[in-house]
Amino acid sequence: MSVESFARADVCAVAIAETFRGDGEILANPIGTIPMVGGRLARATFEPDLMMTDGEAALIANDEAFEWPDGKVLEAWNPYRRMFDIVWSGRRHVIMSPTQIDRYGNMNFAAIGGDLAQPKVQLLGLRGAPGNTICHPTSYWVGNHNAKTFVEQVDVVCGIGYDRAAALGPVASRFHEIRRVVTNLCVIDFDTADHRMRLRSVHPGVAVGEVVEATGFELVVPDEVPVSRLPTDEELRLLYEVIDPTNLRGKEVPD
């Protein structure tokens, strides 16, 4: 397989994998299709010590992301109660998908519009976002980068951003880290003086202006914006033959 034949979804998976670089022996817990593919890719290549779930109550060693025709290789029993132990211990890096996110990484997937007593659109609820974001590294995945997701202000703060963590001081900021936001268009980080979102790279074929247009607040854009890392031949082989052979990732982000 030649490098020329990669798809946008493959670049997204590589960008997700890169968020786990350097994490070592922690629970990599990417939630969602492309995040799960990317997490498996990181472990199958440069972060072999990561642990990953089967989406239920086990940590498994398999490279396959979604189906395990030859059975699961169990490393540990991990029911929800153990999951909270891991969250609070800090040995975890989660990837969640925001419905809204602001420039400091405050994230909402609980409800939109109306008021707290009667939202216009009820979504998931807080789920584990308050605890995740204050206890261990968090990254975000946005499958459809648009100005309704990247907003000036989120309606409900589920996951806390850098401004809120800083305002509370060390009790909140000591374990808080929003590492990346990976989208279908680009990679964003918070490597600015006050931890505002900064455009880190654009995926091949995406113009910087396209990202700026699709972001509902002023994104920090460096003079030079590199192109996101391309998949290697070995990464493409893993993606197409082992991790996600039915290409579920391509359904989430079509070319």
Partner 1 sequence: MADKRMSEDDVVARLRSGMTIGIGGWGSRRKPMSLVRAIVRSELRDLTVVSYGGPDVGLLCAAGKVRKLVFAFVSLDSIPLEPHFRKARQSGQVTTEEYDEGQFLLGLQAAAWRVPFLPTRVGLGSDVFRLDPSLRTVTSPYPGPDGGPGEELVAMPALELDAALVHYNRADERGNAAYLGPDPYFDDLMLEAAATGGRFLSAERIVPTAELAADGCRHSLKVSRLMVDGVVEARNGAHPTSCVPDYERDEAFQKEYAGSARTDEAWAEFSAAWLELPDEATYQRKVAAR
| Residues in contact with partner 1 by the rule CB under 8 A | 56-58, 77, 79-81, 84, 87-88, 110-111, 114, 116-131, 133-135, 156-160, 164-165, 167-168, 170-172, 174-175
**92/249 with CB nearer partner 1:** 92
Sequence-distant (≥ 6) Cβ neighbours of residue 22 within 8 angstroms: 47
**38/105 with CB nearer partner 1:** 105
**65/111 with CB nearer partner 1:** 111
Burial class for 123, CB neighbours closer than 10 Å (0-12, 13-18, 19+): middle
Q: In the complex, what is the shortest distance from the CB of residue 103 to partner 1, in angstroms, rounded to a whole number? A: 16
Query: Closest Cα to residue 64, out of 27, 36, 34, 96?
Result: 36
Q: In the complex, what is the shortest distance from the CB of residue 117 to partner 1, in angstroms, rounded to a whole number? A: 6
Relative orientation angle of helices 8-19 and 33-44, to the nearest 10 degrees = 60
Q: Which amino acid is at 109?
A: F
**116/193 with CB nearer partner 1:** 116
Q: In the complex, what is the shortest distance from the CB of residue 26 to partner 1, in angstroms, rounded to a whole number? A: 18
Q: In the complex, what is the shortest distance from the CB of residue 126 to partner 1, in angstroms, rounded to a whole number? A: 5
Q: In the complex, what is the shortest distance from the CB of residue 125 to partner 1, in angstroms, rounded to a whole number? A: 4
Answer whether 20's CB lies under 8 Å from 28's CB. yes
Assigned token pair, 40: 């498996």
Query: Closest Cα to residue 175, out of 110, 94, 102?
Result: 94
**172/230 with CB nearer partner 1:** 172
Residue environment code for 61-99, b if the CB has 16+ CB neighbours within 10 A, otherwise e: ebbbbeeeeeeeeeeeebeeeebeebbeeebbbbbbbbb
Q: In the complex, what is the shortest distance from the CB of residue 149 to partner 1, in angstroms, rounded to a whole number? A: 17
**8/164 with CB nearer partner 1:** 164
